[in-house]
Chains A and B, each alone.
Chain A
């Protein structure tokens, strides 16, 4: 009896591992920046190039940093959700315009709506490297102390907003 059960058992263990493997997304590389201070930046604004914005301006509030570009197709998918989230007033969204051209970026915002409190320009992707960006769009939730609490790689979905991002933001806003 045992000599039949052992291979069966071994097969089941292997199958269980493979089954778990099927549900994992190899594109979702866990960011080492979670629970670490958000990298500092000081960048020019998109709408008013002579003004800049620093990551430290947002200390004391929970905010979202959304990395986007007009050349990024998936950004168009998530954009209506961001516009909606901005309208709800739950959390301010800041846009990091990643390796884009100012004029096309501005046109893009005019066409699809502008959910961003401020958009800043990362023309050569340097700040992107600091944030570990490799697949635009990416979205970071940053808490009152300036610590990254969540990173979403790829477009934000209704599911990820309702199940993860919004509950997390509400929780972070409770903290002093």
Chain B
């Protein structure tokens, strides 16, 4: 025994001290349920994975702990419960935050360059390569020697053969 209980006063003291601990139990809260409805949570996660957190711009809302993302997640949960379709929810957010909230930009006049720019660059590069190769072939084909040059070349080759024999 840590406390020698030799007297009623000591016991009442101990009980009193223990009673003082009761308010501490009030601190322990039940964990807030992350997913009240797993179906809603699943849809919400799938949606928010492709949405940008505007505060921490390189993080999707699904991963972000920012207050902004908390609010958007709550909003999406509420809208899912209100039987809104995924398209309606995304449109709701785009109307307020713009296309920037989408990681997948929609195809429209202002994003045509974004979508087709790489293909355009590839086509230009391919064209440049073809033009370059054609030009080189013409250059290679054009090389012709005059009779004197041919004679000179033959003489040089002959000389080399003789040199090797020696």
- Interface contact B98-A134, CB-CB below 8 Å: no
B67-85: which residues lie under 8 A (CB-CB) from chain A?
Answer: 67-68, 71-72, 75
Query: Which of B55, B71, B95, B99 has a CB less than 8 Å from the CB of A125?
Result: B71
Q: Separation in Å of the A163 CB from the closest CB of chain B?
A: 24
B96 touches A29 (CB 8 A): no
Chain B residue at minimum C-beta to C-beta distance from A34: B98
Min CB gap B108→A, angstroms: 13
What is the count of residue pairs linking A and B with beta-carbon distances less than 8 angstroms? Answer: 36
Interface size for B (C-beta < 8 A) is: 15
Compute how far the CA of A125 lies from the CA of B97 in the bound complex, rounded to whole angstroms. Answer: 14
Partner of A132, one of B57, B67, B75, B97: B97
Residue B115 at the chain A interface, CB threshold 8 Å: no
A63 to B98, CA, bound (A): 24
Q: Given contacts A125-B71, A128-B71, A129-B71, are A134 and B97 in contact (CB under 8 A)?
A: yes
B97: chain A residues at CB < 8 Å are 29, 31-32, 132, 134
**For B57, B67, B72, B97, which residue has the most chain A Cβ atoms within 10 angstroms?**
B97
Whether the pair B57, A26 counts as a contact (CB closer than 8 A) is yes
Residues in chain B within 8 A of chain A (CB atoms): 54-55, 57, 67-68, 71-72, 75, 94-100
- The residues of A that contact B98 with a CB separation of less than 8 Å are 29-32, 132
- Can you give 25 A-B contacts (C-beta < 8 A)? A26-B57, A27-B57, A29-B54, A29-B97, A29-B98, A29-B100, A30-B100, A31-B98, A32-B95, A32-B96, A32-B97, A32-B98, A32-B99, A33-B96, A126-B75, A128-B71, A129-B71, A129-B72, A129-B96, A130-B96, A131-B96, A132-B97, A134-B54, A134-B97, A135-B55
Residues on A with beta carbons closer than 8 Å to the beta carbon of B99 = 32
- Please, which residue of chain A has its CB at the minimum distance from the CB of B71? A125
* Residue among B57, B68, B99 with most chain A CB within 10 A: B68
- State the Cβ distance, B146 to closest chain A Cβ, in Å: 29
Which residues of chain A are within 8 angstroms of B94 by Cβ–Cβ distance?
A: 32
In the complex, what distance in Å separates the CA atom of A31 from the CA atom of B67? 20
- Interface positions, chain A 1-58, Cβ under 8 Å from B, are 26-27, 29-33
For the complex, give the distance between the alpha carbons of A132 and B97 in Å. Answer: 5
- How distant is the Cα of A125 from the Cα of B75 in the complex, in angstroms? 10
